[in-house]
Structure 1
Amino acid sequence: MVDWDLAVRIGSRIAGEGPSVPRDEARRVVAELRAGADRSTGLVRDYTGLVAQDHTAPVLVVDRAGWVQANADAFATLLAPIVDKLTEKKPPTGLTAAVGSRITGAEVGSVLGFLASKVLGQFDPFSPPDGRLLLIAPNIVHVEQELEVDPHDFRLWVCLHEETHRVQFTAVPWMRQHMFDQISAFADTMEPAGFLEDGLTRIVEGIKNVRSGGGQTGSILDVVGTPEQKQLLDGLTGVMSLLEGHADVVMDGVGPTVIPSVDRIRARFNERRKGVGVLDKLLRRLLGLDAKMAQYRDGAKFVRGVVDKAGMSGFNVVWESPEHLPTRAEIGDPDAWMARVLRT
């Protein structure tokens, strides 16, 4: 259903190469990012109390094309349950399959190409056996130059955030399977009959809504989801808000002890997260990146709210089982989560 090779070619072409850096300088950046990720493991462990084995997931310092390829691989794995479900119910054949796979490949490639110039780092939990940490060197260099911040401080700051994600998944072994199970449950709700026609209609309406500035939201996920799908997405949103907010809290908690210019970096980076330009802002809303920014903000507020009242040990109860994960509503109401899980 998706021509992944075409998606990678288009995504890599759209992404471009990023800033031009002399070869020797590029080698030093790569080495520094690897060292920063390695150093961050102990810093995250000491701050959070989460114990993950060293080097359980490889650290890959990649360029934009490498990130596109890695995410195409991850999406192929992640979407496999949905693709299997749809093809089992109504397998595409002949010209429909050939043309359809290229259309979706071009669409996915366009999205990956846009994102490949924005992302600084990412933990891919679905890469066997234990996931992998990706650091996108040209984007990190580009942003540190754009923000005019100390490059060494900024690189360690990024590593702290992304290494926290690695620790989350490797210290909490059930997390990976839980998220995959949620995706599989989402796949069970997919019906091929009228899916494309109905979905396209709602996407068009969503684009009109975004461009007119109306409504509470405008991402593609929000406009194509049925009530059952939205309920599942709410659960995933709660988990992602927790993971992203926790990583932000850790980087801000550890940062002042090892990164002298962390306050300057945080202030300038927060301003950058707002996006620039009309097209950039439109694409961010359509792709749900505005919601992603809200996940950082709301998740961090939840984590701080619990830690302030229950301490880090009380907060860490969240990692004990899937039943302890906050719902989307509880992300905005830490007291409700503590009442349910901690009985406070």
Structure 2
Amino acid sequence: MIDWPLAQRLAGFVAGQSDAPPPRADLGELTRDSAERVIAYTGLEPLSALPEAEGVQRQEWIRANVASMSAMLDPALEKVGRNVAKPARQGMQLAAGVIMTAEVGVLLGFLSQRVLGQYELVLLDTTPDDRPPRLLYVVPNLGGAVRAFRADEREFLHWVALHEVTHAVQFAGVPWLQRHMAGMVRELIDGAQLKIDARRALRLPRTDDVKKLVAVVRSGDIVTLVASPGEKATIDTMQATMAVIEGYAEHVMDAVGTPLLPSLPRLRAALDQRRRSQKAPARLMMRLLGMEMKMRQYQQGKVFCDVVVRAGGIEALNRVWRGPESMPTLAEIENPHAWLRRTDVPPALTA
């Protein structure tokens, strides 16, 4: 349904070019140093080799994510219009394909202008052996951020490397994590109710429809608009898990970076200010693309991890890696001490 080559070309057009000078620091060296420091601090031991650093342009980042998104979306999109008569279904699929191709292209093009680094892992019907994860650094965006923040280049790149390497260590050191995430993605795709009622699709939206859409856009929870109650529960679990994964990386990059990077407080302040000071059109775009939810995951997850470490050290926080049942719920993300009380049992009893 989605014309992926066309979406990729559109994304490349939206991505544009950056006039920032590329970083000169050795990303491979910084990544290897970061891996040693992250492993030493967290105590997580990778069970497989970590991916090598790859400095890429926006176009290569787009290509990598087109491959990941197509693997995840195509199976679900095959269900669209199955309850509609064949002639109408073909027209509906064509129209939906045009719209979704444009949306995906704009989405990836916009994101490619902003992402600094990515631990790229396909979370669907694959294993790391089938399709090894990649550690990507978007070179023009790193150069632009260094210039915008007036940052020391080596310090800033080291800070970014700490975050992305933490993700690599998480998935390489916690065998069940990839399977758990892939299972939730598969559950959402298999249970997706992508049926379209032709009569509703052709009518004008009612006032209630508009009010509901406005409320969802304001909250940044676009993904829940079409979710059934069962899907919403899975989405909640996935959001809580992602909050921990992202918050853990945010905590580690600051905990490890504080004694290592003299300008870290200024870098953190500059990054937070950048997130808060997006111009109005960019903020709306971020909401529509779900990026504000991602920012909340960073913020809420980091607060959770910081509180837990202050209460019991990194050993207490590492309880999250005992198994899926030890992951906090969304309510516990907001109340870390409740999670600490629930998980304060010997690891052997939760294995």
Same fold (TM over 0.5): yes
| 2:56 paired with 1:43 | no
Of the three residues 97, 101, 118, the one matched with 2:97 is 101
| Residues 51-85 of structure 1, C-alpha deviations (whole Å, 9 max, x = no match) | 11574324321111111111111111222442355
Aligned pairs for 1:319-334 (under 5 A) are 319-334=321-336
1:144 alignment counterpart: 146
**SS of match in other structure, 1:123:** strand
TM-aligned CA distance change 1:336 to 1:111, over 3 Å: same
1:11 alignment counterpart: 11
Aligned pairs for 1:280-299 (under 5 A) are 280-299=282-301
C-alpha separation in 2, matches of 1:271 and 1:101 = 38
C-alpha separation in 2, matches of 1:38 and 1:308 = 28
Does the Cα contact within 8 Å between 2:14 and 2:110 map onto a contact in 1?
Answer: yes
* 1:305 shift after superposition: 1.8
Does the Cα contact within 8 Å between 1:324 and 1:341 map onto a contact in 2?
Answer: yes
Q: Which letter does structure 1 place at the counterpart of 2:163? A: H
Give the count of matched residue pairs: 333
Aligned pairs for 1:64-79 (under 5 A) are 64-79=58-73
Q: Which letter does structure 2 place at the counterpart of 1:64? A: R
* 1:234 shift after superposition: 0.7
Aligned pairs for 1:63-142 (under 5 A) are 63-86=57-80, 94-126=90-122, 128-142=130-144
After TM superposition, the score normalised by the length of structure 1 is 0.87
C-alpha separation in 2, matches of 1:42 and 1:140 = 22
* 1:219 shift after superposition: 3.6
Aligned pairs for 1:46-65 (under 5 A) are 46-52=40-46, 55-65=49-59
C-alpha separation in 2, matches of 1:39 and 1:122 = 17
Q: Which letter does structure 2 place at the counterpart of 1:13? A: F
Does the Cα contact within 8 Å between 1:130 and 1:170 map onto a contact in 2?
Answer: no
Q: Quick check: 49-58 or 298-307, which moved more? A: 49-58
C-alpha separation in 1, matches of 2:209 and 2:343 = 38
* 1:230 shift after superposition: 1.7
TM-aligned CA distance change 1:99 to 1:277, over 3 Å: same
TM-aligned CA distance change 1:33 to 1:177, over 3 Å: same
Gap regions ≥5 residues in structure 1: none
| 2:177 paired with 1:181 | no
TM-aligned CA distance change 1:41 to 1:90, over 3 Å: farther
Q: Which letter does structure 2 place at the counterpart of 1:2? A: I
Does the Cα contact within 8 Å between 2:10 and 2:106 map onto a contact in 1?
Answer: yes
Q: Which letter does structure 1 place at the counterpart of 2:6? A: L
Gap regions ≥5 residues in structure 2: 123-127, 347-351
* 1:275 shift after superposition: 4.0
User: Percent of aligned positions with the same letter in both sequences?
Assistant: 34
**SS of match in other structure, 1:257:** coil
* 1:222 shift after superposition: 3.0
Does the Cα contact within 8 Å between 1:86 and 1:190 map onto a contact in 2?
Answer: no
| Residues 271-319 of structure 1, C-alpha deviations (whole Å, 9 max, x = no match) | 1112421101111122222221111111111112222222212221211
C-alpha separation in 2, matches of 1:311 and 1:336 = 16
C-alpha separation in 2, matches of 1:101 and 1:179 = 27
* 1:205 shift after superposition: 5.0
**SS of match in other structure, 1:258:** coil
C-alpha separation in 2, matches of 1:287 and 1:338 = 33
Does the Cα contact within 8 Å between 1:57 and 1:131 map onto a contact in 2?
Answer: yes
* 1:90 shift after superposition: 7.1
C-alpha separation in 2, matches of 1:225 and 1:44 = 37
* 1:45 shift after superposition: 0.4
**SS of match in other structure, 1:66:** helix
TM-aligned CA distance change 1:237 to 1:98, over 3 Å: same
Q: Quick check: 89-98 or 32-41, which moved more? A: 89-98
TM-aligned CA distance change 1:304 to 1:39, over 3 Å: same
C-alpha separation in 2, matches of 1:34 and 1:109 = 30
**SS of match in other structure, 1:340:** helix
Does the Cα contact within 8 Å between 2:80 and 2:93 map onto a contact in 1?
Answer: no
Q: CA RMSD in A?
A: 2.7
* 1:91 shift after superposition: 10
* 1:322 shift after superposition: 1.3
